[in-house]
Amino acid sequence: MGDGIRTTAEYAEGDALPRKYDAHAEGCGETGSKELPDSVTRKSMAEKSPAEWAYERLILYIQKFEEQLDNEHEVAMGFAGNETGVLRIEGLGFFDPDIVTFYGRDSGGSRMQLIQHVSQLNVALRALPTPKAKQTPRRIGFELAAKLEQSE
């Protein structure tokens, strides 16, 4: 919608619907905006805690990142500013009103959990080689999106 006059209903709808925009240099990977799933738009942003809203968007970002991976790689998180390394994402959760939790394993296979306040949320998605013992890569973003669709 342009800068024209909006009805009250259009104003309220525009205020309630999430907006997303991505721009990329040609050939540098597309995140491509697509329709948000019903599971994300079922409740308005005002009805969601910051943690729930961050959780849902993280799932969408992880899923889109995984769409660009080949069968030799899985998604993981990288950490900046310390020696923690990476976390191969196996799960994601939130604790209202403001905590997001990542579950997974480090590069050595040890269990790992990151608990983060939404105001400090800073996630670097990385592609790691699929472990040699696995035949196919795990697509956690798609698993989490399916669970999101099943909830409520």
DSSP codes joined into one string, 84-146: --EEEEEEEEEETTTEEEEEEE-TTS-EEEEEEEGGG---EEEEEEPPTT-SS---HHHHHHH
Spans of all domains in the chain = 48-150
Alpha-carbon separation of residue 59 from 4, 80, 108, 120, 139 (angstroms): 34, 21, 24, 17, 11
Residue range 20-40: average pLDDT?
63
CA nearest neighbour of 140 among 105, 98, 99: 105
48-100 pLDDT, tens digit each: 999 999 999 899 889 989 998 999 999 999 887 777 788 999 999 999 999 99
pLDDT at 34: 59
pTM value is 0.71
